Structure 1
Amino acid sequence: MSSSSFIFNIANKGLRLETANDVQKLFSDSKIEELKELVLTSNTFGIDASKALGGLLSRMKNLKATGLSAIFASRPVDEVLIALPSVFSPLLSLDSLIELNFSDNAVGAQVYRVLVPLLSQLSNLQIIKLVNNGFGPEAGKAIAEAIQQLASKRRESGRPSALRVLLCARNRLEDGSASAWGEAIAAHPNLQKVKMSNNGFREDGIKAIAKGLAKCSDLRYLNLRDSTSRNEDNEDDPEESRGSWLLADAIRNAKRLEYLDLSDCYLTDVGSLEIVNALGENPYPELHSLLLQGNDMNEGHYEKLLTVIQDTLPKLKVLVLADNDDLEDNEAIDALKEFLEDPTRKGQLITDDQDVDALIKSEDAKDETTETRFVGDVPIEVPPVKKEEDELDELAKLMGAKLKIENQVCLFHFLLKAGY
């Protein structure tokens, strides 16, 4: 457990908690009301343990970050659906909460009914992490619509979106939910990190996501790995309407990009060139990692890339080109390698699959850490507590409207005399 009195961290202990007593013992030395960060990753909670955890959560009024990934691993779905409300319901009253991590609880589509209230009402949320939950298209659409409502709730109170990080990867979202996700992303133009890899998006899905991303000019991190930006049966469509073109437009609008992963997105030679051209049109002074694995790139792309890196990507350190064409005995590849690995830049060109796997594993591990890089300085606004006289006035208005009484002052005095 973390030594800080504000942090409770038992990540990866592998505990199997069944009873209320199990949970009480775990927190026996903690000052519950002072906790700001709770990390329970990879310790599983049964029904009774979840009820006890919920009781403790209701007392954590200063809680900012919840690490609830893999807290129901190995639990039957029926058990999880009973346990979930006990954990989630107390979170609805935590106005201080800015990070929710519920990744790696692959309980399937049914869980969205419990998630939707959280994602639509916790208006101070800055970080949402939902990786490997097994949503599928229907539940994925409902989750996206809840995140749209989150933006609406902020707008209604005259505040811009607080959401900075949105991770929803490995969830089989597919094209059926992509339109809703595109609208959800567009509704939060302050997004800085978006990871929606391995969701089975095809071209229509990527186009919808790209249109949403085009609204996010402050985007720093984008990962759409393992999607399909060009369907072969759409070859008669004009190039400017293709998925890779819309992705390029989103990139043109995100000049603060730091990390871009479009690996295995089937950009093809034409789409890959458009992406490279987009990166070369304006400086991207902070872009340090560019992953373009498996996109049918060839020598012509590598030559163009070298020029682009020299001209507009001054901080690029990692370039991934594995599983493309013409990687061996190629002067352009040799030139890229020499330029990136120069002692003044200290970068690397990755063309080996094993090196790519290590890089991706390292990036995925970062998803499990409490977010600090992309947390914004967003004021947390707590709804004012209604005074007793405010509640009485509200009651008078409601009753006056119901009874069609215009003079509510009279009704107010009537209620006072009646003992309210």
Structure 2
Amino acid sequence: MADVAAVTDLLAQASVEQPLAEVSFAGQGLKLDSADDAAVVVNAIKESPEMHILALNGNTVGVEAAAAIAKALEDKSELQRIRWFDMFTGRLRSEIPPALRGLGASIMKSGAHLVEINLSDNAFGPDGVKAVKDLLESPACYTLQELRFNNQGLGIGGKILAESLIKCHQESSKAGKPLALKVFIAGRNRLENPGAIALSKAFKTIGTLEEIQMPQNGINPEGIEAMAEAVVSSPNLRIFNMNDNTFTARGAIAMSKALMKANNMEVLNFGDCLIRSEGASALAETITVALPNIREINFGFGEIGKDAGLKVVESVEKKTKLEKLELNGNLFGEDGVTLITATLEAIDKNDVLGSFSDDEGSDDEDDDKEEEEEEEEGEPELEVKGQSITPSPRKGDPDDLENIPPCTAADFLAFPSLIKYFGLGIDREQKLLEQLGDKVNDYEEVIKVFVKVAAVMDVNTPKVKNSVNQCADAILSKLFESDDCRPENIANEILVHLGYIKV
């Protein structure tokens, strides 16, 4: 016979989620100056006995109207989410703090337990943070999960915000329910290093962040290093956006170490962060052995050179969940773009790569700039920079590959693939030599073609292996037939085009 008590306990534990009740005036462009103007909002609040969400974004609320709305909130203990972004358009800076203080006081009085606060796009600066300080430190925010302060011009207000979050965590911990913030968004706020360092301390204290977005904040390497410490203390972090701050190699290396145990990371946005070649190489090493759940990587506009870019590409070979890799705006040059594209195609990930429309057109490693950040030993004229990594061969039946649309030599050389290689037809060697024209004795141009042919090699498929070997021999033979052929020049050019040495 079933235990009635056990059944009762199970029923008591069961719950059915009900849809959240929302009062929304979002995007209506209302200009609420007086209490009379606010009557439409006040009445809607009063008529909603269990209001969970109040959305006032896309309107403009004055001090008197805010006071009327605040009065209506005093008994709304069910309120969970306040979406008050872009709510003070056209208001004087002096109007915003008293409006926020009144609204916050009513929420605290009501006994509500907030889950989301969205005050983005109000540009209220440090004074606005001071106005919501009491609310953020009160029991109303012990349950807070999402805090959105985007585009507020916080400046030094970032330190005030961090201090309030730390105090909220301390007080909520004493109450037996520690603050478990999950989402923090504060882009375009001029936080700079002091704000980043203060917020890093808050994130480390809280330890539950799943999403941190702080783009365009003027943060330099010192602040980036502090944020790296926050990453280490946030094991649940999934989305990390530091776009358009300044890492340099120093910050990127610190971040690469911090990400080693970021097993839940899905989105990594370090675009326009000046991570440079040394930083990109360090991050590539981490990506190779860590970040098993990564879906998106943005290292665009980072002054990354060709060989470092290739390391990044090679690092994602076993990232089965990767959907997007952004490398636009770097220093790969035409040859680098071709090599990187071919490598991704060889490891069956060419579909994740973004555009190269803004590549800077140079494959320099930009050593002079990196030397400003790090003291480096002088390098010889030619130096091997790493071990060759052979791209994984393309899978497929070569008999099927014969039955494909024709391809021109120019198309193949632009974006090499095994499919295009067989599309050249049985006279592929002759077509490639004709494409070279009078440059058949030019080391650089011939090796460029040779490397692209070699990139489609599949040593496990005899038909492919034999064909590629024959084609590569035919191309190189023109160099060896030359009276002034020097083997060391050929070897150096091959290493240069593979990206493993610098000149």
- TM-score tier (shorter): 0.7 to 0.9
AA matched with 1:147: L
Match for residue 119 of structure 1?
136
CA apart distance, 1:128: 0.6
The counterpart of 2:352, out of the listed 347, 350, 358, is 347
Give 5+ residue unaligned stretches, structure 2: 1-18, 360-503
**Residues 327, 152 of structure 1: alpha-carbon distance in 2 compared, 3 angstrom cutoff:** farther
Does the CA contact (< 8 Å) of 1:166 and 1:194 recur in 2?
A: yes
CA apart distance, 1:91: 2.2
CA apart distance, 1:348: 4.1
Residue aligned with 1:319, SS: strand
The counterpart of 1:155, out of the listed 167, 173, 180, is 173
Work out whether 1:18 is the aligned partner of 2:33: yes
Larger Rg belongs to: 2
In 2, the alpha carbon distance for the partners of 1:224 and 1:173 equals 12
**Residues 350, 284 of structure 1: alpha-carbon distance in 2 compared, 3 angstrom cutoff:** farther
**Residues 75, 339 of structure 1: alpha-carbon distance in 2 compared, 3 angstrom cutoff:** farther
Match for residue 468 of structure 2?
none
**Residues 334, 32 of structure 1: alpha-carbon distance in 2 compared, 3 angstrom cutoff:** same
Aligned residues: 336
In 1, the alpha carbon distance for the partners of 2:135 and 2:231 equals 23
Matches within 5 A, 1:20-35: 20-29=35-44, 31-35=47-51
Structure 1 vs Structure 2 CA RMSD:
2.3
Deviations 1:230-281 (A, max 9, x none): 3xxxxxxxx8xx3212211222121111111011211111011111111111
The counterpart of 1:58, out of the listed 74, 84, 90, is 74
In 2, the alpha carbon distance for the partners of 1:28 and 1:95 equals 19
The counterpart of 1:8, out of the listed 19, 23, 39, is 23
In 2, the alpha carbon distance for the partners of 1:283 and 1:42 equals 38
Deviations 1:2-54 (A, max 9, x none): xx881122222211111222222235355333111111111110111101111
Deviations 1:99-151 (A, max 9, x none): 00011110222222212112222211111111111111x22111111111122
Work out whether 1:222 is the aligned partner of 2:240: yes
Deviations 1:279-318 (A, max 9, x none): 1113522x2111111112222233223322221x211111
The counterpart of 1:129, out of the listed 136, 148, 154, is 148
AA matched with 2:199: W
Match for residue 317 of structure 2?
310
Does the CA contact (< 8 Å) of 1:318 and 1:350 recur in 2?
A: no
AA matched with 1:23: A
**Residues 265, 283 of structure 1: alpha-carbon distance in 2 compared, 3 angstrom cutoff:** closer
Match for residue 294 of structure 1?
301
**Residues 124, 339 of structure 1: alpha-carbon distance in 2 compared, 3 angstrom cutoff:** farther
Deviations 1:136-169 (A, max 9, x none): 1x22111111111122123223334311011121
In 2, the alpha carbon distance for the partners of 1:84 and 1:158 equals 28
In 1, the alpha carbon distance for the partners of 2:26 and 2:296 equals 28
In 1, the alpha carbon distance for the partners of 2:340 and 2:174 equals 53
CA apart distance, 1:341: 8.2
Does the CA contact (< 8 Å) of 2:259 and 2:291 recur in 1?
A: no
Does the CA contact (< 8 Å) of 1:341 and 1:348 recur in 2?
A: no
In 2, the alpha carbon distance for the partners of 1:297 and 1:73 equals 41
AA matched with 1:146: S
Give 5+ residue unaligned stretches, structure 1: 231-238, 355-420
In 2, the alpha carbon distance for the partners of 1:219 and 1:150 equals 20
Point out which structure has higher relative CO (alpha carbons under 8 A, 6+ apart): 1
AA matched with 1:111: G
Match for residue 91 of structure 2?
75
In 2, the alpha carbon distance for the partners of 1:353 and 1:96 equals 48
Does the CA contact (< 8 Å) of 2:261 and 2:290 recur in 1?
A: no
Match for residue 269 of structure 2?
261
In 1, the alpha carbon distance for the partners of 2:145 and 2:186 equals 14
Does the CA contact (< 8 Å) of 2:261 and 2:291 recur in 1?
A: no
Does the CA contact (< 8 Å) of 2:76 and 2:112 recur in 1?
A: no
Residue aligned with 1:128, SS: strand
Match for residue 39 of structure 1?
55
Does the CA contact (< 8 Å) of 2:328 and 2:354 recur in 1?
A: no
Normalising to structure 1: TM-score of the pair?
0.75
AA matched with 2:305: N
AA matched with 2:77: K
Does the CA contact (< 8 Å) of 1:18 and 1:45 recur in 2?
A: yes
**Residues 146, 5 of structure 1: alpha-carbon distance in 2 compared, 3 angstrom cutoff:** closer
Normalising to structure 2: TM-score of the pair?
0.63
**Residues 333, 158 of structure 1: alpha-carbon distance in 2 compared, 3 angstrom cutoff:** same
CA apart distance, 1:215: 0.5
In 1, the alpha carbon distance for the partners of 2:107 and 2:333 equals 51
**Residues 218, 29 of structure 1: alpha-carbon distance in 2 compared, 3 angstrom cutoff:** closer
CA apart distance, 1:320: 1.1
In 2, the alpha carbon distance for the partners of 1:8 and 1:341 equals 49
Percent identity between matched residues is: 26
Residue aligned with 1:20, SS: coil
Does the CA contact (< 8 Å) of 2:309 and 2:332 recur in 1?
A: no
Match for residue 426 of structure 2?
none
AA matched with 2:311: K
Matches within 5 A, 1:101-112: 101-112=118-129
AA matched with 1:153: E
**Residues 188, 327 of structure 1: alpha-carbon distance in 2 compared, 3 angstrom cutoff:** farther
